[in-house]
Structure 1
Amino acid sequence: MRTLKHISKFIMITLLIVSCEKTPKKKTSSEPSIQKQVTAKDILGNKDYVAISYGGYRTKTRDVQPTIDELKDDMKILHAMGIRVLRTYNVQLPQAANLLKAIRELINEDNKFEMYVMLGAWIDCKYAWTGQTPDHNQESEKNEEEIERAVALANQYPDIIKIIAVGNEAMVKWAASYYVQPGVILKWVNHLQNLKKKGKLDKDLWITSSDNFASWGGGDTIYHVEDLSKLIKAVDFISMHTYPMHDTHYNPVFWGTIDDGKRSSLEKIDFAMQKAKEYAISQYDSVHNYMKSLGVNKPIHIGETGWATYSNGHYGNTGSKATDEYKEAIYYKHMREWTEKAGMSCFYFEAFDEIWKDARNPRGSENHFGLFTIDGKAKYALWNLVDKDVFKGLTRNGNIIVKTYNGNKDSLLLEVQLPPVKAKLVVNH
């Protein structure tokens, strides 16, 4: 009997061990879920991987970082509307690292969830933001640490980070607080490319810089320096910014409409927004032509473009009369249609309003570039998605996703101003 008992006990223990081995272990948030492997080359210019610029800040200061749960809520909203690629701006603050953690958790919770990142590394000149006079011919000592953080994250999340962008509008000379010379960007782009060659970064990780069209040679010849030529040859693609909305004030050669007695008010606005689209395309063409003049043929993607919905300054009703939800919706549609047809990605600026950008002036345009308001209302550009129940069950800050203006288009149109009437409009090419 003792022998039989021992045998029975042995069998039970063996079965228990086998059962435990067959039970799948629960993934931790740091373990990547198995999903299809894609590269930047597969993503960029692919209409199935719609891109957007993202910042999840909800208050007037970036000292208040969005929580992991808040970031996950935002990712669910963006994923529902078809977004698959995000652009971030720096790794100095916790948001980018927390965002990557949030995406990893969502992938582990649902292996059908798919989101990739163009990770921004912020670049400054010496004495930027210090109160001292910026030295645009020297770089900040902090740049090296920023690049190191970006490299560490790229190696920690190779399944999510597909691109690193060195600097954001870091070369354009109107960024007087912090801009650097092209040689600084070139230095760090070459550094990252060398890490790829040494196997210290994924060989398929693409490296770029995200900057204004003029900085890429498409504007004033003051930018046409040797280091820019070398930079264009060093990056894997050009990430170009174009902002017709800002130029409705600064260079309004294209901005306005023609009163020929045949157009309704909305048709006049549609005409003006068509001109805005053509203006953006002309800036792309200028960068493309400069690149070709150097004997280079690389992809160009739109790293940033957008249209604010409110301004109490240059672009509002007392200025160029450019900003409202109706015009934003038209511009958004134009940019998506143009870039998709051209086989380009467009990191549209931006997903959600961020009120820290002009904290002292809540009505300033910088606070109103989002396709969603801070509290999660979908602006006019996305009303059709609300109608389709795309956001059903999703919330932001505890609020369900509803339309702005209570979905009343007539109320929205009451705030839409006609652009100035011009006898003749010209688009610079």
Structure 2
Amino acid sequence: MQKIDIPTGRAICYSGYREGQSPDSRIYPSLEQIHEDLLILKPHWPLLRLYDCSPHAERVLEVIRRERMDFKVMLGAYLGPEMNNFGCPWGGVYAEDELEASIAANEVEVGRLIALAQAYEDIVFSVAVGNECTVDWSDHIVPVERMLHHVRRVKAAVRQPVTFCENYVPWLDKLKPLVPELDFISVHTYPVWEYKHIHEALDYTRHNVESVERAHPGKPVVITEAGWCTRSNGRGMHAEHAAQELQAIYLRDLMAWTDREQRLCFVFEAFDEPWKGSPDPLEPEKHWGLFTVDREPKLAMQDWPAVATAHD
């Protein structure tokens, strides 16, 4: 298998938006709030994944450097829609001028990704060009040929390994033209979103990842999202499956497997995010954190052992 220079160890997706904050409103967590979050995560999760190159991400990198914190970061670029997706259940259709503005914004975002990766080369260990923008249900579809453009632009400008983060399904066929351009593949897997019981959850996750590995032999595969919801109104999953007790079991099983295989796996996610999804307080998108929005540990993080070292 192709070798890549990335760390292994405990990893988590971090988005620090609190009550009244969101990327949509452009109200971002303060430097002090981010520092508070990083102190909470530091004993357990030395590898972080950031989703975009907004002021939030820039502040995270600034705090890590200023406070000399021993984190390494996968830095992402958020890519908005570049075409309509008439099959998306919750939107995905835009006027022509909206798509043109989104395409222009994507070029700017990719430029920020390059600039931050260069400026924080000591902290950023890899870069991800986009997130879930080729899967059939996405409301921000980017055509594969445009993904090739964005990835090639980034690879020509940064020294870090380059990836793209996507649900496991497009990797099996749709994304085959993109794979040779990437240093490694990043897979998302969510058994609870696919109505799986906790007893079959880890086997399902393993099947998802291994199916991608079989489709692209020799190409390294990491997990950039795997997690378990703790509250739900039943949209997209069995409501009774969304429970802290089941999140704790899935996390324990997931970490045992990925630790044993020394497979990089980013748990989704650090903190609950109330800005996400519908206004319904039981909207499942809001409830994936290992900590509540008030920074209280859920059952999965109670008595969770600290890591001995920050990263391999």
Q: Highest relative contact order (Cα 8 Å, sep 6+), 1 or 2?
A: 2
Native 8 Å contact 1:211 1:240 kept in 2: yes
Counterpart CA distance in 1 for 2:14 and 2:285 is 14
**Counterpart selection for 2:162 from 207, 213, 224:** 207
CA RMSD between the two structures:
2.4
Residue 232 of structure 2 corresponds to residue 311 of structure 1 = yes
Q: Which runs of 4+ in 1 moved over 6 A?
A: 127-131
**Counterpart selection for 2:110 from 119, 144, 147:** 147
Single out whichever of 368-377 and 177-186 deviates more from structure 2: 177-186
Cα-to-partner distance string for 1:371-419 (whole Å, 9 max, x where unaligned): 000112111111113xx7x7xxxxxxxxxxxxxxxxxxxxxxxxxxxxx
Matched ranges for 1:9-408 at <5 A: 41-43=5-7, 46=8, 49-62=9-22, 63=25, 64-81=27-44, 83-91=45-53, 93-107=54-68, 113-126=69-82, 132-133=94-95, 140-175=103-138, 177-195=139-157, 201-202=158-159, 205-217=160-172, 224-225=173-174, 228-248=175-195, 255=196, 272-292=197-217, 297-314=218-235, 319=238, 321-358=240-277, 360-385=279-304
- 1:425 maps to which residue? none
- Structure 1 position 132, deviation (Å): 2.5
Counterpart CA distance in 2 for 1:104 and 1:58 is 23
TM-score, normalised on structure 2? 0.87
- Structure 1 position 315, deviation (Å): 5.7
- Structure 1 position 133, deviation (Å): 4.7
Counterpart CA distance in 1 for 2:96 and 2:303 is 46
Identify if the C-alpha distance between structure 1 residues 61 and 361 changes in structure 2 by more than 3 Å, giving closer, same or farther. Answer: farther
- Structure 1 position 151, deviation (Å): 0.8
Counterpart CA distance in 1 for 2:243 and 2:233 is 11
Counterpart CA distance in 2 for 1:125 and 1:134 is 11
> Percent sequence identity over matched residues?
33
Native 8 Å contact 1:125 1:134 kept in 2: no
Counterpart CA distance in 1 for 2:186 and 2:236 is 25
- 2:309 maps to which residue? none
Counterpart CA distance in 2 for 1:70 and 1:125 is 31
Structure 2 counterpart of 1:155, one-letter code: Q
Cα-to-partner distance string for 1:38-80 (whole Å, 9 max, x where unaligned): x97241xx2xx31100000002441321110110111111112
Structure 1 counterpart of 2:187, one-letter code: M
Q: Which runs of 5+ in 1 are unaligned?
A: 1-38, 108-112, 196-200, 218-223, 249-254, 256-271, 391-429
Aligned residues: 293
- Structure 1 position 193, deviation (Å): 1.7
Counterpart CA distance in 2 for 1:148 and 1:61 is 25
Native 8 Å contact 1:97 1:153 kept in 2: yes
- Structure 1 position 290, deviation (Å): 1.0
- Structure 1 position 163, deviation (Å): 0.9
Counterpart CA distance in 2 for 1:306 and 1:239 is 15
Counterpart CA distance in 2 for 1:55 and 1:169 is 16
Structure 2 counterpart of 1:236, one-letter code: D
- 1:264 maps to which residue? none
Structure 2 counterpart of 1:212, one-letter code: N
Structure 1 counterpart of 2:272, one-letter code: D
Identify if the C-alpha distance between structure 1 residues 54 and 40 changes in structure 2 by more than 3 Å, giving closer, same or farther. Answer: farther
TM-score, normalised on structure 1? 0.64
Counterpart CA distance in 1 for 2:267 and 2:249 is 13
SS of the counterpart of 2:73?
Answer: strand
- Structure 1 position 130, deviation (Å): 9.3
Larger radius of gyration: 1
